[in-house]
Amino acid sequence: MSAPAVKLGGPAPHEDRALLEANLSLVAEREGQLYQRVYAIMFRDHPEADQLFLQYGEERQAEMLSETFTSVFDLLDGESWTPGHVQAMGERHRHGYVVRDEMYAWFSDAIVAALREVSGDAWTAATEAAWERALDAVNALMTGRG
Ligand code: HEM
Q: Give tens-digit pLDDT for 14-56.
A: 889 999 999 999 999 988 789 999 999 999 999 999 999 999 9
Residue 118 falls inside a structural domain: yes
Residue 63 falls inside a structural domain: yes
Give the total number of structural domains in the chain. 1
Residue 54 falls inside a structural domain: yes
Tell me, what's the pLDDT at 8?
A: 55
Distance CA 49, CA 131 (A): 22
3 alpha carbon – ligand 1 mean position (Å): 37
* Residue 57 CB–ligand 1 contact under 6 Å: yes
Q: What value, to the nearest 5°, has the Cα angle with vertex 82 and ends 78 and 87?
A: 135
**Cα atoms in the Cβ-side hemisphere of radius 13 Å centred on 110:** 23
Rounded mean pLDDT, 69-82: 95
- pLDDT tens, position by position, 102-146: 999 999 999 999 999 999 999 999 999 999 999 999 999 999 987
Residue 30 falls inside a structural domain: yes
pLDDT greater than 70 at residue 6: no
Give the domain extent around 66. Answer: 13-142
103 alpha carbon – ligand 1 mean position (Å): 11
Cβ neighbour number for residue 25 with a 10 Å cutoff: 10
Distance CA 26, CA 18 (A): 12
Residue 5 falls inside a structural domain: no
DSSP secondary structure of 64-127: HHHHHHHHHHHHHTT-TTHHHHHHHHHHHHHHTS---TTHHHHHHHHHHHHHHHHHGGG--HHH
Q: How far does the chain reach from its first CA to its final CA, in angstroms?
A: 29
Residue 7 falls inside a structural domain: no
Confidence (pTM):
0.93
Residue 8 falls inside a structural domain: no
Assign residue 39 the CATH number of its domain.
1.10.490.10
Q: What value, to the nearest 5°, has the Cα angle with vertex 17 and ends 11 and 21?
A: 140
Model confidence at 1, in pLDDT bands (50, 70, 90)?
very low
User: Hey, what long-range contacts does 117-122 have (CB within 8 A, 24 or more apart)?
Assistant: 117/37, 118/27, 118/30, 118/31, 118/34, 118/37, 119/23, 119/26, 119/27, 122/23, 122/26
116 alpha carbon – ligand 1 mean position (Å): 22
Residue 1 falls inside a structural domain: no
Closest C-alpha to ligand 1, atom 21: 64
